Structure 1
Amino acid sequence: MSFLAPYHVVCSDRMIDLVRPPAGFVVPYGINFSIPRSALGPDLVLNPEDERLHSATVTRHELTFDLAPDERPCATWIAHEIESAFGSEPMPPEVGTTLVPDVVVGMRDATLYDCLFTMDRQWVEPSPPERGAVVTLDPSSLTERFIAVLTVLRAHHQIGMIFALPGLLQEMPEPYRKSPAVCWSASTDGFLHKDKMLAELANMRPHDGSPKTVRAMAAKRELEALVASWDGHGEPPAAMVGWASRFLASWPLESVLEASS
């Protein structure tokens, strides 16, 4: 109810589950790899027909004046009590949604509803989202070929992380440097791209001459040699995957962060 004008509204505040195509996918594999919907197929997942790959549920907070049958008796009673006590009348939606000139709420123009009742609501019913939530894929649902790609990419990005981390720590406030929380993510279409990897490796620069950096430089040169000798077609060669697996086993991500703190 508004004390500025003799009007009240009775509405329903709901959480609605909407089923939509996924917005994308993420695979937690040491770091979080995001995958676009268009890339997902039999080369990447074991069961392309899995329902989770085609639909995702989005929960939306919605305010509506279209009350459900079980809500209407309560709404009628509430409206009667308000009208009896204050003499107000219900504000029609066509009045409440009238835009108020030169008033903005958040990133949108304000309505009479916002000005007379509360601006903590989306009074005009939003259009349904076209896409659903981002779906997390368990590595066990992926093909061996894609796991091999992710293994190489994780080693590739971890080397880059080792070089970048000192600079990131310098930008952090002093209290946070002792126990940094770093969330690393990357995107992939499920394939290795030789030219892109070589360009990224070439751009990796050390920040200091610490033993950790020297070790990372050696790993970088080894990976560069493996990528350069690959023809760039098909799945990554066994030698590259084997090297990446050994590198990750000998240098877990947790120890990288601990050594930098």
Structure 2
Amino acid sequence: MKLQLFLIVVFAAFISCAPRAEVSDDEGVQDRILNGDLAEAAKYPFIVNVQERKPGEKDPFRFCGASILSEKWLLTAAHCYDHVKSTADIRINAGVVDANNFGSKSQEISVKKWFIHPKYSRIAVHDDIALIELLKPLKFNKHVSPISLPPADYEPTGEGKILGWGAIDPKEEIRSQYLREATIHVSTEAECNKHDSPMSAATQICLGVSDKTTACQGDSGGPFMQMINNKPCIVGVTSFAGKGCTEKAPSVYTKVSAYKSWIEETMKNNP
């Protein structure tokens, strides 16, 4: 049975809850992610944290990740937003590895609108992709900058990076305050299906069969990144996992190349 990665806010979570280290406004912290590492500041300037600021609550609720495509457009997962009634309380926090840091490096911006793929199905978990339009543009610098889309015919192979602020324990009870990264391998459709993670290779990517790393609750919407022609490209968006946050359990990502035309047309038609 699919366990949707509806989050608590990556993209890449892995095991070990080390004592929390202090993070300055300028530097990230290196530690552990489910068997990954804490990301350095400005290493992945394209990933943002999506948060809900609820009235009366001191800290925002971190629930998804997203990747910067341009000053006003982000790529994320549809299932993060299909339950949200209004954009009024939704913010993104860009430029920091500490999701709770709203200091000088942070760019906290409201969401104007999101565009869920018209064929998205929460029950079947397909076409799980969405775009976020920001209320005002991001200011690009070394901490905040976009990631490229892959070619329309791109088929991921080998290994890449997953990123996020999701759970870091198998029970998915402990969320990471800091951005985490891990290397993960592309697996086959047949391998994913054997692990109770049915997916379609035409529009989805199976990751991490037999790996110690996996995406966990809270990582949804975050990127699977690979280098294409020597530049970072977002080739996958975190969608769901079959058996939760455990080693050797696969995660399924939406294949970005299959939706490149929809992404570009949506951005073009909503200037």
TM-score, normalised relative to structure 2: 0.22
Greater helix proportion: 1
Greater strand proportion: 2
Find the structure with the greater CA-based Rg.
Answer: 1
